[in-house]
Structure 1
């Protein structure tokens, strides 16, 4: 499947109410469950923290990104942290150059292990996105991936919900994860 075919298919799927969101990571078509209430609440909470830290940067929810080496993949992270005008005029699938951090919140589906814990960290590191924040609702942990080397993230810090973790530069936010204990099932 080519990227053009994928993007046309993804556009058509977005018109269907309650359809899963499509992604194209490492040459594989995948689906991403639409956000549930707790996942949306986590992104809203994180958006507030990001805005408080720097009002000139924003956590964009569900912005499509061109990812991987040569931008041959498409992902729709739960959040993209970037300056407040980063995606103006770019359309549904934006370039990742101004993205400081991507955020994924695990969903309760069978693909989350492969997609959020294996494929996406690799794809985001290949893209050169400085920080990948994984909020893992299955394990009740937060994983902060940083220092991409073009293949993988060289540093991964894991903390259980309830602890504080630093989102490294260029994000530079101290994250108290205690509220996440309220949004798991």
Structure 2
């Protein structure tokens, strides 16, 4: 184990928050997360990534105008056991004004769904497919939607439990997928084929 890896494991949440503030004030290209005692870096999204979020936002607004898809990865959430983790999802579905008066890292109590769109980087597998489903489930978030551009699949994680989500529904791009209650939206994913390299 390297010195840097050891330091990451021993870092407190308070130390992470200080570092995150400093780095994110200086850079528009990096967002930091703290999951499983480890700092994770999320790079800038590409145009296709942004179009996927726009498409999802449009679908959610049509069917559920009572909710808002907070997009852009700017909203930080308290995740993991005892809120010791910090995540910046690509999008968060929640009732309007769910985060009014909250600081940089919001309580996920009113969040109905988190969304991640995979990036073309080496950390995607560990971060989006393994760590985040557990972190979001432990935080009690009812749904986690993973739009996986590497595999051309959409995965709906539901029924959160302490060890992760109990249910996983996987659909290929082009198939219809249902986001179960409390969201209750059906998505036709055909258009997602246009947003992969």
Smaller-chain TM-score range?
over 0.9
Deviation at 1:170, TM superposition (A): 0.4
Is the contact made by 1:13 and 1:19 (CA closer than 8 Å) also made in structure 2?
A: no
1:36 to 46, 50, 60: 46
Between structures 1 and 2, the one with greater helix share: 2
SS of residue matched to 2:187: strand
Structure 1 window deviating more from structure 2 (74-83 vs 11-20): it is 11-20
Structure number with larger C-alpha Rg: 2
User: Runs ≥4 in structure 1, deviation > 6 angstroms?
Assistant: none
Matched residue, 1:87: 99
Deviation at 1:158, TM superposition (A): 0.4
Deviation at 1:18, TM superposition (A): 3.9
TM-score of the two chains, using structure 2 as the length reference = 0.91
Structure 1 window deviating more from structure 2 (126-135 vs 4-13): it is 4-13
State the distance in 2 between where 1:167 and 1:136 align.
16
State the distance in 2 between where 1:111 and 1:74 align.
17
Deviation at 1:53, TM superposition (A): 1.2
SS of residue matched to 2:110: coil
Structure 1 window deviating more from structure 2 (45-54 vs 10-19): it is 10-19
SS of residue matched to 1:157: strand
Matched residue, 2:118: 106
Deviation at 1:36, TM superposition (A): 1.1
TM-score of the two chains, using structure 1 as the length reference = 0.97
Per-residue CA deviation, residues 134-153 of structure 1 (Å, 9 max, x unaligned), is 00000000000000112211
**Structure 2 regions of 5+ residues with no counterpart?**
1-10
State the distance in 2 between where 1:182 and 1:19 align.
25
**Structure 1 regions of 5+ residues with no counterpart?**
none
Per-residue CA deviation, residues 25-63 of structure 1 (Å, 9 max, x unaligned), is 011111111211111111111111111112121011121
Matched residue, 2:58: 48
2:83 to 47, 71, 83: 71
Q: How many residues align?
A: 185
